[in-house]
Amino acid sequence: MAFKTRVTEMLGIEHPIVQGGMQGVGLAELASAVSNAGGLGTLTALTQPSPEALREEIERCRSMTDKPFAVNITVLPTILPPDYKAYAQAALDGGIRIIETAGTQEVREIWEMVKPHGVTILHKCTAVRHALSAERHGCDIISIDGFECAGHPGEDDIPGLILIPAAADKVNIPMLASGGFGDGRGLVAALALGAEGVNMGTRFCATKEAPIHDNIKALYVENDERGTNLIFRKFKNTARVGKNSVSDEVVEISARPDAVFEDIKHLVAGAVGREMLKSGDVDAGIFWAGMVQGLIHDIPTCQELIDRIIGDAEAIVQGRLSGMLA
């Protein structure tokens, strides 16, 4: 038995499970493993140093899977923005026909650029109003990201239990539930709340194929549901990261009345965080992690993880839930 939804139909995948784009993690090893297991793997464009490098990574991923996979392009406010359109062109040149987007309004230029090429656009957002805007602008699938998520949950603090059905009440295109998903129970809950699949980030970081040092993977298992910190709140750019000595220090410094971003900049540098994923020095920088850490108890392969999620979800629907019907 399998779960067939509009998401599986539109993306040409077996199971309604998507691996979200993650900086420093969305490489061919992980994306191909997720796709080979029946989900949708995703390469993260900006993990690559140049559009040409992205072309090469797409080819590398294609050599590892014959299944569909996506490319993530996240547009963020930054002093020296990368050439987002060049990365989008590299994806098109590489034959990519599923693109996951996120970020500021400038992302609309990417949508306008790729849409005429028959690309399915999967847009990640943290509010119902943003989902409706993306739908109006021609996006095909919404990934609605609750407050539990790793990364940037927005500033509204609405958890998935409310955000997903609130969006489902108003959005007509298919939705993925994101933030806090990592097992079969979560998949069934997402479907019950009105989504047609799940988008998982943190859970895929704790897999054999994730290009992350074993020390960091061990943190995902050790940390419980309280094992995250919210940083950048003061600067209206809230981010949820894993709890360690560095993110604790960032929270402590930020709490000072006169704190400015420059005070924590050296602690949160992206290059430092990416190096930490490779070196395994758990107190070298910050690492992305969601509350779902409380549901992570092992480091399976992507195949084992997806098979388990689908098997558990089927057992819940056919067994536990059907048994409750009087």
pLDDT band at 2 (very low <50, low <70, confident <90, very high): confident
pTM, to two decimals: 0.96
Average pLDDT over residues 76-89: 90
pLDDT band at 291 (very low <50, low <70, confident <90, very high): very high
The amino acid present at 293, given as its one-letter code, is Q
Q: Residue 17, SS3?
A: strand
Is 255 buried (19+), middle (13-18) or exposed (0-12) by CB count in 10 A?
A: exposed
Instruction: Judge: domain 6-209+301-323, CATH 3.40.50.10490.
Output: no
Question: Strand ranges (DSSP E) for 110-238?
Answer: 120-125, 141-145, 175-178, 198-200, 228-231
Average pLDDT, the chain: 95
259 and 307 Cβ atoms separated by less than 8 Å = no
Domain boundaries, the chain: 6-209+301-323, 214-291
Q: Please tell me the predicted confidence (pLDDT) of residue 272.
A: 84
Q: Please tell me the predicted confidence (pLDDT) of residue 317.
A: 96
Q: Please tell me the predicted confidence (pLDDT) of residue 115.
A: 97
Q: Please tell me the predicted confidence (pLDDT) of residue 77.
A: 78
CA-CA distance, 55 to 92, in Å (whole number)?
A: 9
Q: Please tell me the predicted confidence (pLDDT) of residue 78.
A: 78
Answer whether residue 125 shows pLDDT above 90: yes
Q: Which two tokens stand for residue 151?
A: 């990364």
The pLDDT tens digits for 269-289 are 888 888 899 999 999 999 999
| Nearest Cα to Cα of residue 127 among 143, 105, 111, 115 | 143
pLDDT-above-70 percentage for the chain: 100
